[in-house]
Structure 1
Amino acid sequence: MLGRDTLKRHADLVDRMATARGVDLEEAALRGEVRIGEIDDAVLACAGCSAPDACAHWLAETTAPQPSTPSFCRNAELFERLTKG
C-alpha cells in the first residue's frame, strides 16, 4: 500500500507536469475534459514510476508550457489529450 506522503508527492508531480504542459487540471475537471477518477489514476500511475527524482528535476528546470512530457512520463497520453482539448 502506498503511504500518504508518497501519494502527496506524486499528486504534486502530476499537477506540476500538467502545469508544465499548460494544463490546469482543476479547470479541465470543471469543464468535464477529465474525470476526477482519471486524475486519481494518473497519480497512481505516477506513483509506480521509477524516475520521480528525474521528473522533479525536469520540472524544476522547465518553464511552461512545454510541447511534450519527458519520455519516461507515464501520463504523457493524458496530458497530450488535455492539451488538444
Structure 2
Amino acid sequence: MKDMAAEAEGLGNIYRHLWLLRAVAEAAGADLDQAVRSGRLSGLDYARLVTSCRGAGCSKSCALWLSSRRGGGPAVPDFCPNADVFKRLMP
C-alpha cells in the first residue's frame, strides 16, 4: 500500500506555493477566484494548480521572478508549470 503522507512530504510547503500561485496568477492578469465563481475553473482544477506548483521545484526562481518584476503588462514566467492555465484565464 502506498503511503500518501510520505509522498506529500516531498512537495513544497502548501502555504508558500499557494501564495506563489496566486501572485503569478495576478501578474498574469488571471483572477483565480473569479474563474472558480464563474465555473471556468473547478475546485479540483484549483487544487491541481497548487499541487503542480508544489511539485515543480521552481519556487526560488518563481520568487525571484516575482521580486524582479517591475509592472508592465500581464506576464507568466516560462518555467511555470501552470502557465497555460493562467494564459487561458487571462481576460
Q: TM-score, normalised by structure 1?
A: 0.84
- Which structure 2 residues correspond to residues 22-33 of structure 1 after superposition, within 5 A? 22-33=29-40
Deviations 1:15-68 (A, max 9, x none): 0110001111111111111111111101100011122111011112222642x3
1:75 pairs with 76, 82, 86, which one?
Answer: 82
- Counting aligned pairs with the same residue, the percent is 32
Partner Cα distance (1:51, 1:12) in 2 = 14
Aligned residues: 82
Q: Is structure 2 residue 8 aligned with structure 1 residue 12?
A: no
**Structure 2 vs 1, CA of residues 27 and 2 (structure 1 numbering), >3 Å: closer, same or farther?**
farther
Q: Alignment partner for residue 64 of structure 2, among 31, 49, 57?
A: 57
For the aligned residues, what is the CA RMSD?
1.9
Runs of 4+ in structure 1 displaced over 4 angstroms? Answer: none
Structure 1 residue runs of 5 or longer lacking an equivalent are: none
Q: TM-score, normalised by structure 2?
A: 0.79
